[in-house]
A and B are shown apart, each in its own frame.
Chain A
Amino acid sequence: MIVAEDIHFFYPNKVEALKGVSLTIKEGEFIAIMGQNGAGKSTLVKHFNGLLKPTLGTVRVNGVETTKTSVATLARDVGFVFQNPDHQLFSETVEDEIAFALKNFGFEPEVIEKRVTWALNLLALTQYRKTSPFLLSGGERKRVALASVLAWDPQTLILDEPTIGQDHEQKEKLRQFIMQMQIQKKTVVIVTHDVEFVAECNLRVVLMKEGKIVADGLGKDILTDPALLELSSIVLPQIAQIFAKLSTLGLPKDIIDIYEAKEIILKAQESGLRK
């Protein structure tokens, strides 16, 4: 459980990147933090594993204040996968890359061996075990970066812009992977501006603008509110755009799921025919 209470954060150049943010993330939740570039999304999530400490206010991870502990300790519970895998890959082989964090955390060699095998398998990387991560494709490098964090099995996983530069199939695989994490009751926080991706996952959305939270609720409520989205410079998901137009027929507006969309349209047509 992560609890942020009225946090403010100033960068050394005195820019106030967070202006009083309070947020509680419960165990097992799946949250998307959305907003324009510069809205403070990345600054906020960097507080969850102690990379940044609030200037004012407190952040507690499982009851422990982040100012009273180290990133290395917090990282055991909160795994953070950065946007660009090239910002972390450095080992000679994929296997070493995944073992890096495990060694830092002081796991026993046998445990490390087991964990590496497990993580490779989970992300379909087993065939690349002895390959240099630099020889892999962009999508594969992204998976290695993810595996290198999953290896120590943190309770919470933070993914910064996981869909950037990914094609349709890679996004679909990522979505399925997150769903799998959900079944295991893991907490997943994604920072993203990919509305279509968020619309396809049924989750809680936290909308930020200029260092503040402007909305917090279900994806289907927030992503179908044109005024709110315009305020945060986000576009409506495709399905929501269709239903925004269809609302003149008395159909509901808060639809983002394609299957739900189909049912509603078919029902509307039947009732129209009956009349």
Chain B
Amino acid sequence: MSKLSRLRLAGTKNMAIIETKNLTYTYPGATKPSIIDVSIKVEKGEFVLITGPSGCGKTTLCRCFNGLVPHFYQGELKGEISVAGVNTLEHHTYEMAKHVGLVFQNPENQLFALSIEKDVAFGLENVGVSREEMRKKVDWALNLTGIYDLRERSPHEISGGQQQRVAIAAVLAMEPEIIVLDEPTSFLDPLSAEKIFEVIYALNKKQGITVILVEHRLDLTAKYTNHLIVMDEGKVRFEGNPREILSTEETRLIGVGIPKATLLYQMLKKDGLNLNGNIPLSSEELADQLLEALKPK
């Protein structure tokens, strides 16, 4: 291998898989833009968490990643966007589907087939994959999401949490480089939500899939990420290390639900109890720090 090509390879490793520059979008008929001047950079293999109050533009941003905005929604998109090396402005959503899988909030409305495996195969059928190959990919996706045993059931026979795993399997079967999940657990109970997060985390760690997760429940999700984006009123307000961002007063004032562990850590710190280690993001982390600090010497 020549030196040059090796250098280029090293370069691709840290290359942004998603990059937007001054992205501004207005829905048709809307008076003001839903996202304003959004410039973000996501690297390959990252687990990115996006949060912010309702109506802050998170969902709209997700729709940009696979070209639903502007191809499906029309309207006016300004700025630059590149996803998996593709300019989404020039490529239709069905071309993006093999790069980006989008999972939506309501599991019920993304399953349309009468059996689970048929649903998982839907995207592959659409792009015309051969039956043998399809079978392999469908089984692979069903196994990774832990629903292989449910493959012959119909969507109404399974719980909401299982339905959402089917939706994840359905985009996973296309073997995308990126999976974008828009509040995938907001209709689920905390236990089912945790299972979903574990599935997503494993996909990120073991399969190397870049994950973009939009969530309100930072209590359960902050621990998975080291790249947090906080949006408010269409703008990116903070981007970076969640431990720093979640411990600022400004973040709290935007209305972001700070994890209880992080809050308690700060309250203790204010009252003079200094704990060793990072700012905690989960109850496990804080509990370990407290055990250390309160342990009889």
The answer to whether A and B touch directly, with their CB atoms under 8 angstroms apart, is yes
Chain A interface (Cβ < 8 Å from any Cβ of B)? 36-37, 137-139, 164-171, 193-196, 233-235, 237-239, 241-242, 245-246, 248-249, 258-259, 261-262, 265-266, 268-269, 272, 275
Question: Are A168 and B264 CB-contacts (below 8 A) given A234-B190, A265-B290, A268-B294?
Answer: no
Binds A, one of B134-142, B203-211, B254-262: B254-262
Q: Which residues of A contact B194 (CB under 8 A)?
A: 235
Residue in A167, A238, A268, A272 whose CB lies within 8 Å of B216: A167
Question: Are A138 and B294 CB-contacts (below 8 A) given A167-B216, A242-B261?
Answer: no
Residue in B105, B257, B271 whose CB lies within 8 Å of A167: B257
Closest-CB distance, B293 to chain A (whole angstroms): 7
Residue in B105, B159, B190, B295 whose CB lies within 8 Å of A37: B159
B296 near A272 (CB under 8 angstroms)? yes
A167 near B219 (CB under 8 angstroms)? no
Q: Which residues of A contact B267 (CB under 8 A)?
A: 258-259, 262
Residue of A nearest to B193 (CB): A235
A242 near B216 (CB under 8 angstroms)? no
Closest-CB distance, A219 to chain B (whole angstroms): 15
Residue of A nearest to B160 (CB): A37
Residue of A nearest to B105 (CB): A165
Judge if B186 is at the interface, Cβ distance under 8 Å.
yes
Q: How far is the CA of A235 from the CA of B189 in the complex (A)?
A: 9
B283 near A242 (CB under 8 angstroms)? yes
A246 near B290 (CB under 8 angstroms)? yes
Q: How far is the CA of A261 from the CA of B290 in the complex (A)?
A: 12
Residue of A nearest to B255 (CB): A169
Q: Which residues of B contact A139 (CB under 8 A)?
A: 54-55
Can you name 11 extra interface pairs (CB under 8 A) apart from A165-B187, A233-B191, A258-B264? Answer: A137-B54, A138-B54, A164-B186, A164-B187, A168-B216, A194-B190, A196-B260, A238-B219, A238-B260, A241-B283, A269-B293
Q: How far is the CA of A233 from the CA of B191 in the complex (A)?
A: 7
Residue in B183, B191, B287 whose CB lies within 8 Å of A245: B287
Judge if B1 is at the interface, Cβ distance under 8 Å.
no
Which residues of chain B in 252-297 are interfacial with respect to chain A, using CB atoms and an 8 Å cutoff? 255-257, 259-261, 263-264, 267-268, 271, 273, 283-284, 286-288, 290-291, 293-297
Q: Which residues of A contact B176 (CB under 8 A)?
A: none
Q: How far is the CA of A245 from the CA of B286 in the complex (A)?
A: 10
Residue of A nearest to B194 (CB): A235
A249 near B287 (CB under 8 angstroms)? no
B268 near A266 (CB under 8 angstroms)? yes
Q: Which residues of B contact A196 (CB under 8 A)?
A: 190, 219, 260
Residue of B nearest to A37 (CB): B159
B189 near A193 (CB under 8 angstroms)? yes
A238 near B261 (CB under 8 angstroms)? yes
Q: How far is the CA of A206 from the CA of B101 in the complex (A)?
A: 40
A245 near B291 (CB under 8 angstroms)? yes
A265 near B268 (CB under 8 angstroms)? yes
Residue in B55, B186, B268, B291 whose CB lies within 8 Å of A249: B291
Q: How far is the CA of A104 from the CA of B273 in the complex (A)?
A: 59
Closest-CB distance, B257 to chain A (whole angstroms): 3
**Which 7 A-B pairs have CB atoms at the shortest separation, nearest pair first?**
A168-B257, A169-B255, A245-B287, A238-B260, A193-B189, A241-B283, A235-B190
Closest-CB distance, B185 to chain A (whole angstroms): 10
Q: Which residues of B contact A246 (CB under 8 A)?
A: 287, 290-291, 294
B264 near A242 (CB under 8 angstroms)? yes
Q: How far is the CA of A37 from the CA of B263 in the complex (A)?
A: 30
Q: How far is the CA of A55 from the CA of B191 in the complex (A)?
A: 32
Q: How far is the CA of A193 from the CA of B283 in the complex (A)?
A: 19
